[in-house]
A and B are shown apart, each in its own frame.
Chain A
Amino acid sequence: MEKLSLEEERALVARAKEGDKLALARLVEAYQEPIYHTALKMTKNREDAEDVLQETFVTMVEKLHQFRGDARLYTWLYRIAVNNVYRRTRSIQKHEAMDINDPDVQQIHGGQLSEWPETANLLGEREWIREVLAIALDELPPKYRTIFILRDIQGLSIKETQEILGLSESNVKVRLMRARNYLRDKLSTSLEEGVHYDEGA
């Protein structure tokens, strides 16, 4: 995400608070895309993603006067967006009960670990890997998926992710590691099945 610099953002926020609509429009334009893509990844649905996008920026416009500027505006926007998604996901209570375990040392060393083909080959040559990626992410429980999306896909820092989700640093790190490991295992299984499929073709 190409963010506004801190100075640019502060200047625009200050002007927007004074009623400058051009500054407000610039802020919306700067952050509409990452918020939309995050909402899309989380809701997996274009209509819901658009609703979340609109709700988020409506809140921004209505409550900008309350924004103190302690954190970056985009972390505030992400927090609003994530909360908006959670409100929509009525089954969140059920999902929150699901947990995934820490990576298991015994599992790593007890089983057989296969190397994967080069990443460039995976992305460029096999259309099905895209579907595999999407399915694996969908299957990840929401609390882990959110962290993975914010941290590894959107590229936010641990600190920013903490601020958005209101979690401790250790909590973010643990969930992130579990999310990565879960996805790694899912992809590993799919890749092995994919190799077998090719060999049989």
Chain B
Amino acid sequence: MTKALSHKKTFQKLCDDLSTDIHAELCDEVKEHLKDCPDCRVYVDTLRQTVYLYRGEYHEEQKEGIPEEVSDRLFKVLKLDDIRSRLQEEAERE
């Protein structure tokens, strides 16, 4: 088997492993290939970093939560604004 074919076969397995979960444990065959293939190693690392970057950015956005006025309008549209006040009072008491 040429090196190119070995890359391709490993690549397909890699794609399958990582498409399930970016944190997924890579199969032994892939790990073995990565030991000797710096390009594939960089590819895996940068792929993982891509997802981490987006998750990190999302967590920053999550800290801001949903704008208060957006939530106010939502509950009003759903005719639940008076109930929401009760929820907020309960949350403050806790």
Contact = CB atoms under 8 A, between A and B. Distances in A.
B contacts with A: majority SS: helix
A24 B87 CA distance: 11
A180 B18 CA distance: 10
A123 B50 CA distance: 11
A174 B12 CA distance: 11
B49 A26 contact: no
Interface residues of B, number: 44
Interface in B1-27: 4, 7-8, 11, 15-16, 18-20, 22
Contacts, number: 125
A50 B73 contact: yes
Interface string B50-87: 11111111100110011000110111011010011011
Contacts of B58: 37, 153-154
Contacts of A122: 49, 53
Interface of A: 21-22, 24-26, 28-29, 32-33, 36-37, 50, 53-54, 57-58, 61, 102-103, 105-106, 108-109, 113-116, 119, 122-123, 129-130, 133, 137, 148, 152-155, 158, 173-174, 176-177, 180-181, 183-184, 187-188
